[in-house]
Amino acid sequence: MAFAIPKENYAGKVREIVIGKGDKAVKIGGYDSMPLCTFEGTWPNKPVVAMEVYDVAPELNAQGWPPATFEAFKDVINDPGAWAKKCLEYGADLICVQLAGTDPNAQNKSAEEAIEVVKKVKEAVGDIPLIIWGSNNLEKDQEVLPAIMEAFPNENWLFGPAEEGNYKKITASAIGYGHLVAGKSSIDVNLAKQLNILIENLGLSLDKVVMDPTTASLGYGIEYTYSVMERISLAALAQNDDKMQNPFINDLAKEAWKTREAMLTVEEEPTYGEQNTRGILMESITAIDLIAAGSSILIMRNPTAVKVIKELINELYS
Amino acid sequence: MGLTGIQIFKLLPKKNCKECGQPTCLAFAMQLAQGKTELSKCPYVSDEAKAKLAEASEPPIRGVVIGTGDEQYKIGEELVLYRHDKTFFNPPLIGVLFKDTEDDATIDARLKNFNEVSFERVGYILKAHLAVVKNESGDAGKFTALLQKIKDNTKKPIMAMSDDVAALEQAAGILKGTKGVLYAATEENYEKLVDIAKANELSLVLKAPIEKVAELTPKIVEKGFKDIILDTEARDAKTMFQHNTFVRRLALKKKDKAYGFPTCNLIYEMTDDEIKEATIAALAIAKYGGIIVISDCKPEVILPLAIQRLNIYTDPQRPMVVEQGIYPINEPDENSPVIVTTNFALTYFIVAAAIEASRVPTWLVIMDVEGMSVLTAWSAGKFVADAIAPFIKKVGIADKIKHRKIIIPGYVAQISGELQEELGEDWEVVIGTREAADIPAFLKEYVAKNQ
Ligand code: SF4
């Protein structure tokens, strides 16, 4: 008897989303099977890797910046444009401008300063699409993100995170200035769906929306993110729920690199072994979990982790 | 499991005598079908019915037990494709490769790591589980010498790996009594290897193309041997994911007994890159691997991989908890601040990591609220003033400090007044931060102010 692949039937399909414009535009989504199951569905677009550029130069050994991440960028860390170019050299599909410095509890950088950073990045990378990520401060993000949208109209960039507490302003500006929105909900299938509906009701087509289900790191809740993404994917594909048929974005590098497993030096914790490999694996394993759970955009930091993950994406989706 | 309540009912004696504790045979059958009672509770079932029920109630994926004593593990017996559907039950074994072509120094260093690398996390021990000894040299003498050496120097189970049946036969003799694993039976040699495995009480990997498995496992089972593990010869990440998925789906969704066995993934054959190897191993852990073999046993690789294993196999229904008690961080003394929070493992990890990052010596006091986060526990009435106050007095923090100040999470600022009252005059309740990320700044300022 010939071997028959045990295939699943899916009723639904995830929306194809275009970020940026022209030749360099990046497409994600458009798939109609569970993640990695290319034997029973069509995956016109592979997951992509966005590498981070920060608005404020981090210091060596500050949270998230042990040698493994700092050294890779130390020559460009004060120059967002050069930093972005470096990311492209490392194989980034797009650039994610992280506006952590705008947080009132951090450097409280102004919207104008953020616009300057974005301008430098844009000048450096040309038409490579950008993801602009706020500081997770609800108030400040709804001030800064719309200001950047207005300063760079109709670039069709992706802006996030838009949460229940600030999605209105961010969405309205995205509609007005021709951009996309990443809606962030807190690890819950129904909340994710509800936010999509709220955003759509404001008038933004769901063809312009990606979902951030709240991303946790390996060791610090990855299993919650993993399972909520699997459940949302099943709702989208098996149950054909068209309010959940949007691709995922995962802001994972911040989470993976702030863990004690990534930050502790060999002197501080001799039993943990060599620090660089340990940290890189915290990032790459978090990333492979998210790919297995259906991520379309992975926001990453360390070049070695990016290289391995890009290789694996190419193999798994070949 | 296999049978419905009605099907089971047909096999019962239908006496309705209630001796099983159920009002009727039908009720008993229904309970049995849901796995809520055991067949042995009915004294009157016929042997024939017993045999039929036993076969039907076998789990769809065979559980294979490997190792002995404290180092005994079970793989297989999984019931779902997605962990959120129930949970994954038996986490895969992390196997570490030892080749008989490697020099003594390399072997000794790896063996030392294999035995000693171990981490504690929320009450679980993270480590590698299985020594995989490979006859790379083709020389049976070298192979069995290495096998003997490793057997003499570890309590953990061993998988012996060779293409040479005679070498495997000798290996089986060495491993007898350890409940180890033989690798591998093939279409050509399985009859001989099944006999060897059976005689020495070892489990056996069947190495065969995925389409051949359906043909071979029934023949092996017919020989009275069931402790089979499948290597479907996947040697890259994509094929591995697909084969593991096919095997799991065939066993669970198609109820195909021929595929109802745990899998073995040789990750070290898939790449020479250390990071890539561990990343593929992590994928194998998430997607249905049973034995996962990597090329080395470095702590910096075992730690993240074992965390992956712990996370993916955490029961989604049950939150991870840490033990109630006092956790000293950064070597606190009698003047150090005291922070109180709940025993939800994530809360603990994040708060402990933030305190550690601050480098401020601090007492972290963890209260058992059944693994709820701060806000959930507060709204459930478990992290409230009249529960926290007696806990603080009982836990013994007062013996460790000269001051009487405790810092509570910013999210429960509203309980500070009441808690103050419950604790009494000599205590002072301080409202801490809402987010753990703000703890370092808070602690530094707090210590400066309180000096
Ligand atoms: S003990 Fe057996 S025969 Fe008696 S009621 Fe229960 S199932 Fe029926």
* Cis amide bond preceding A129, omega within 30: no
Instruction: Find residue B365's DSSP bridge partners.
Output: B326, B340
Measured between CB atoms, which of A63, A231, A280 is closest to B84?
A: A231
* Closest by Cα among B415, B417, B405 to B338: B405
**What is the residue type of B218?**
P
Q: Is A162 helix (H, G, I), strand (E, B) or coil?
A: strand
Any idea where the domains of chain B sit in the sequence? Answer: 5-57, 63-312, 325-450
Q: Best substitution site from B8, B14, B18, B31 to test ligand 1's pocket, by max atoms within 8 Å of Cβ?
A: B18
Decide if A219 contacts B282 (C-beta within 8 A). Answer: no
Decide if B162 contacts B186 (C-beta within 8 A). Answer: no
Per residue in A207-221, is it b (16+ CB within 10 Å) or e — as a string?
Answer: ebbbbbbbbbbbbbb
The pLDDT tens digits along chain B (451 residues) read 467 888 889 889 999 999 999 999 999 999 888 878 888 889 999 888 888 887 777 889 999 999 999 999 999 999 999 999 999 999 999 999 999 999 999 999 999 999 999 998 877 999 999 999 999 999 999 999 999 999 999 999 999 999 999 999 999 999 999 999 999 999 999 999 999 999 999 999 999 999 999 999 999 999 999 999 999 999 999 999 999 999 999 999 998 999 999 999 999 999 999 999 999 999 999 999 999 999 999 999 999 999 999 999 999 887 778 889 999 988 899 999 999 999 998 888 889 888 887 889 999 999 999 888 898 899 889 999 999 999 999 999 999 999 999 999 999 999 999 999 999 989 999 999 988 888 988 999 999 998 7
Longest Cα–Cα distance in chain B = 82
Contact B237 A312 (CB under 8 A): yes
Interface with chain B: mutation pick from A40, A288, A306, highest number of B CBs within 10 Å? A288
| A284 contact partners, CB below 8 Å, separation of at least 6 | A304, A305, A308, A309, B275, B278, B279, B282
Structure tokens belonging to residue A27: 């497409």
Cβ atoms within 10 A of the Cβ of B134, count? 22
How far apart CA A126 and CA B426 sit, in angstroms, is 64
- pLDDT (0 to 100) of residue A196: 98
Per residue in B398-418, is it b (16+ CB within 10 Å) or e — as a string?
Answer: eebbeebebbbbebbeebeee
Q: What is the pLDDT of residues A29-60, one digit of tens each?
A: 999 999 999 999 999 999 999 999 999 999 99
Decide if B377 contacts B342 (C-beta within 8 A). Answer: yes
Distance A226 CA to ligand 1 centre (A): 45
Decide if B244 contacts B264 (C-beta within 8 A). Answer: no
Decide if B348 contacts B319 (C-beta within 8 A). Answer: no
Name the strand (E) or helix (H) holding A211. strand A209-212
* Closest by Cα among A233, A176, A160, A167 to A196: A167
Exposed, middle or buried: residue A314 (CB in 10 Å: 0-12, 13-18, 19+)?
exposed
* Cis amide bond preceding B184, omega within 30: yes
CATH topology of domain B325-450: Rossmann fold (3.40.50)
Q: Chain A: give the shortest CA distance to residue B96, in Å.
A: 17
3-class DSSP string for chain B: CCCCHHHHHHHCCCCCCCCCCCCCHHHHHHHHHCCCCCHHHCCCCCHHHHHHHHHHCCCCCCCEEECCHHHCEEECCCCCCCHHHCCCCCCCEEEEEEECCCCHHHHHHHHHHHHHCCEEECCEEECCCEEEEECCCCCHHHHHHHHHHHHHCCCCCEEEECCCHHHHHHHHHHHCCCCCEEEEECCCCHHHHHHHHHHCCCEEEEECCHHHHHHHHHHHHHCCCCCEEEECCCCCHHHHHHHHHHHHHHHHCCCCHHHCCCEEEEHHHCCCCHHHHHHHHHHHHHCCCCEEEECCCCHHHHHHHHHHHHHHCCCCCCCCECCCEEEEECCCCCCCCEEEEECEHHHHHHHHHHHHHHCCCEEEEEECCCCCCHHHHHHCCCCCHHHHHHHHHHHCHHHCCCCCEEEECHHHHHHHHHHHHHHCCCCEEEECCCCHHHHHHHHHHHHHHCC
How far apart CA A279 and CA A302 sit, in angstroms, is 9
| B426 contact partners, CB below 8 Å, separation of at least 6 | B404
- pLDDT (0 to 100) of residue B34: 82
Instruction: Find residue B183's DSSP bridge partners.
Output: B161, B205
3-class DSSP string for A132-148: EECCCCHHHHHHHHHHH
Interface with chain A: mutation pick from B247, B279, B288, highest number of A CBs within 10 Å? B279
Which residues of chain B lie closer than 8 angstroms to A218, CB-CB? Answer: 304, 307-308, 311
Q: Is the CB of B44 under 6 A from ligand 1?
A: yes
Angle, nearest 10°, between helix axes B140-152 and B104-116? 30
- pLDDT (0 to 100) of residue A1: 59
Q: Order of strands, edge to edge, in the sheet holding B405-408?
A: B325-329, B362-367, B338-342, B405-408, B428-431
Region for A135 from its dihedrals, namely left if φ exceeds 0, alpha if ψ lies in -120 to 50, beta otherwise: alpha
Contact A281 B279 (CB under 8 A): yes
Q: Write the residue with the smallest CA distance to atom 3 of ligand 1.
A: B15
> Which chain A residue lies closest to B256 (C-alpha atoms)?
A6
Structure tokens belonging to residue B4: 């419905």
Contact A305 B275 (CB under 8 A): yes
Q: What is the pLDDT of residues A186-240, one digit of tens each?
A: 888 999 999 999 999 999 999 999 999 999 999 988 999 999 999 999 999 999 9
Which residues of chain A lie closer than 8 angstroms to B124, CB-CB? Answer: none
How far apart CA A54 and CA B5 sit, in angstroms, is 61
Q: Is the CB of B13 under 6 A from ligand 1?
A: yes
Torsion, Cα of A17, A19, A21, A26 (10° steps): -80
Q: Write the residue with the smallest CA distance to atom 2 of ligand 1.
A: B42
Distance of CA B300 to the CA centre of its chain: 19
How far apart CA B196 and CA B227 sit, in angstroms, is 13
Strands B130-134 and B405-408: unpaired
How far apart CA A290 and CA A306 sit, in angstroms, is 14
- Tell which CATH classification among 3.20.20.20, 3.10.310.50, 1.20.272.10, 3.40.30.10 matches the domain A16-317: 3.20.20.20
Q: Is the CB of B244 under 6 A from ligand 1?
A: no
Q: Where do we find the tokens 């049973």?
A: B290
- pLDDT (0 to 100) of residue A203: 97
Contact B274 A218 (CB under 8 A): no
| A166 contact partners, CB below 8 Å, separation of at least 6 | A138, A139, A141, A142
How far apart CA B360 and CA B381 sit, in angstroms, is 31
How far apart CA A3 and CA A150 sit, in angstroms, is 57
Measured between CB atoms, which of A8, A39, A260 is closest to B353?
A: A260
Decide if B290 contacts B88 (C-beta within 8 A). Answer: no
Contact A316 B274 (CB under 8 A): no
Q: Write the residue with the smallest CA distance to atom 6 of ligand 1.
A: B20
Contact B303 A230 (CB under 8 A): no
Contact B119 A226 (CB under 8 A): no
How far apart CA B145 and CA A115 sit, in angstroms, is 68
Torsion, Cα of B211, B183, B187, A4 (10° steps): -10
- Intrachain domains B5-57 and B325-450 with the same fold: no
CATH number of B5-57: 1.10.15.40
How far apart CA B171 and CA B419 sit, in angstroms, is 66
Q: Chain A within 8 Å of B242 (Cβ-Cβ)?
A: yes
Name the strand (E) or helix (H) holding A95. strand A94-98
Measured between CB atoms, which of A219, A227, A278 is closest to B84?
A: A227
- pLDDT (0 to 100) of residue A2: 76
Q: What is the pLDDT of residues A150-189, one digit of tens each?
A: 999 999 999 999 999 999 999 999 999 999 999 999 888 9
Cβ atoms within 10 A of the Cβ of A178, count? 16
- Tell which CATH classification among 3.40.50.20, 3.90.1150.50, 3.20.20.20, 3.30.300.340 matches the domain B63-312: 3.20.20.20
In angstroms, the first-to-last Cα distance of chain B is 65
How far apart CA B419 and CA B388 sit, in angstroms, is 7
- pLDDT (0 to 100) of residue B2: 64
Q: What is the pLDDT of residues A235-279, one digit of tens each?
A: 999 999 999 999 999 999 999 998 889 999 999 899 999 999 999
Contact B241 A63 (CB under 8 A): no
How far apart CA A219 and CA A260 sit, in angstroms, is 10
- pLDDT (0 to 100) of residue B1: 46
> Which chain B residue lies closest to A63 (C-alpha atoms)?
B357
Q: Best substitution site from B9, B10, B22 to test ligand 1's pocket, by max atoms within 8 Å of Cβ?
A: B22
Decide if B278 contacts B294 (C-beta within 8 A). Answer: yes
Rounded to the nearest integer, the mean pLDDT of chain A is 96
Q: Chain A within 8 Å of B88 (Cβ-Cβ)?
A: no
Cβ atoms within 10 A of the Cβ of A137, count? 19
How far apart CA B295 and CA B440 sit, in angstroms, is 39
Structure tokens belonging to residue B335: 């003047």
How far apart CA B355 and CA B364 sit, in angstroms, is 9
Which residues of chain B lie closer than 8 angstroms to A304, CB-CB? Answer: 275
* Radius of gyration, alpha carbons of chain A: 19
